[in-house]
Chains A and B, each alone.
Chain A
């Protein structure tokens, strides 16, 4: 398994744990930490599970398993993948922090706007990384 795939899959599992932790926080007794913003936690949990876990594990495994090029390097350049990894995880952090800040304490909008840009840029990098590997092959 190439280093980029390992990074995506490991980050995906960290996001899975954080997403489940957020879900567990939602299921806590009402008297425990009543000030926590439930809407922010719910949205963060959903995106940690879908973007943080599913998207990262899928991208990591696809980079590892999709048809390889005959010429060197067989999996193509990993640079867009590393860019996607950094942008996506920074975007997720900005989203989780920014949403809790905004909905819990009336924080500003800019962390969410930065998160939106980072995550969209990450999706573009993922498409750039995988597109050339999606091709017909014998068998």
Chain B
């Protein structure tokens, strides 16, 4: 498993713990707490979807998809770093926006999330192929 996948998947598990703790608090505190705690419900949504599910899938795909035969086996390291950085910043800024640092920051966070995800999709696109494709026969 490459280091980026380790970081993405461990971060996803941390987000699962934080998101489920927040969800448990919302559920146990007031059954329809969403009505009175929209910011916390939005933070729960951000943690569970953009913090847990998506990075877990991206990290696993970065690890497991077929690698390139020549050059950088998992695609450009520069694009990978940019995509991972944009994604992480996007989650943090969106989460901060949810918790009240300012409504203005939420679209910035979403734009970064979108850019990071698009970067990962661009990296994965050419790796979605049959295993062994592009390698010369022995």
Q: Is the interface of B mostly helix, strand, loop or mixed?
A: helix
Q: Give the interface SS of chain A, mostly helix, strand, loop or mixed.
A: helix
Residue pair B1, A119 in contact (C-beta under 8 Å): no
B119 contacts chain A at the CB level, 8 A cutoff: no
Output the least CB separation between A125 and chain B (Å): 11
- Interface size, A (range): 20 to 34
Instruction: Give the Cβ gap from A65 to chain B, nearest Cβ, in Å.
Output: 8
Chain B residues proximal to chain A, CB less than 8 Å: 1-3, 5-6, 9-10, 13-14, 16-17, 20-21, 23-25, 27-28, 31-32, 48, 53, 56, 60, 64
State whether B48 touches A50 (Cβ < 8 A): yes
Contact present for A116 and B23 (CB under 8 Å): yes
Q: How far is the CB of A15 from chain B (nearest CB, A)?
A: 15
CB <8 Å contact, A116 and B1: no
Provide the bound-state CA to CA distance between A62 and B20, in Å: 19
Using known A-B contacts A50-B48, A54-B53, A99-B31, determine if residue A124 contacts B17 with beta carbons closer than 8 Å.
yes
Pair B24/A117 contact, Cβ less than 8 Å: yes
CB pair A120–B20 under 8 Å, yes or no, is: yes
Q: Residue B1 contacts which of A58, A67, A102 (CB distance < 8 angstroms)?
A: A67
Distance in Å from the Cβ of A62 to the closest Cβ of chain B? 8
* A123 close to B (CB within 8 Å): yes
How close is B68's CB to chain A, nearest CB, in angstroms?
13
The smallest C-beta distance from A54 to any residue of chain B, in angstroms, reads 7
Nearest first, the 9 closest Cβ-Cβ pairs linking A and B are A116-B24, A123-B20, A116-B28, A120-B24, A116-B27, A113-B28, A127-B13, A134-B9, A120-B20
User: 12 A-B pairs, CB-CB below 8 angstroms?
Assistant: A50-B53, A54-B53, A55-B16, A66-B1, A112-B27, A112-B28, A115-B27, A116-B27, A120-B20, A123-B17, A134-B1, A136-B2
Q: Complex formed: what's the CA distance from A119 to B17 in Å? A: 10
Given contacts A126-B16, A127-B16, A127-B17, contact A136 B3 (CB under 8 A): yes
Interface flag for A21 (CB, 8 Å): no
| Distance from A57 Cβ to chain B, minimum over Cβ atoms (Å) | 11
Bound CA–CA A99/B31 (angstroms): 8
| Complex interface bits, A42-76 against B, C-beta within 8 A gives 1, otherwise 0 | 00000000100011001000100111000000000
Give the complex CA separation of A62 and B9 in angstroms.
11
CA distance A81 to B64 in the complex (A): 23
1/0 contact string of A94-120 vs chain B (CB within 8 Å): 010001001100000100110111011
Cβ contacts under 8 Å, B32 to chain A: 39, 103
Given A119-B20, A123-B16, A130-B13, the answer on whether A95 and B6 have CB atoms closer than 8 Å is no
